Structure 1
Amino acid sequence: MVHIFSTFKDLKKRRFWGSGMWSDGRWYTSVGHISEDAVKRYIETQKQRE
């Protein structure tokens, strides 16, 4: 993001939120050292926040 705005300085003057510049996406990573139950609880609380 910083690279985009530093390279194309005029872009920073525009408002992109809700304009279609950003697309819906997902990000995945490993959970490392936490338990499967902790992951399940986290997923369930995310569903409640929607």
Structure 2
Amino acid sequence: MTTPLFLLRCVQLGLSIRDLDLLTIGMVNDMFAESRNDDCKYATLATQEDFDKF
């Protein structure tokens, strides 16, 4: 990942330069990947009973 691409991802996530003092590059990458999943619709969602069985 290049520096301009990293900074673009930060802007897309709404992160400020001050926020970057607290985050690693990996954390920003994870946040961006998870943000792409926000629109995903899941066929089934786990319930508390499913977690208890796990």
Q: Answer yes or no: same fold by TM over 0.5.
A: no
Q: Normalization by structure 1: what TM-score? A: 0.39
**Highest CA radius of gyration, 1 or 2?**
1
Q: Normalization by structure 2: what TM-score? A: 0.37
Higher helix share: 2
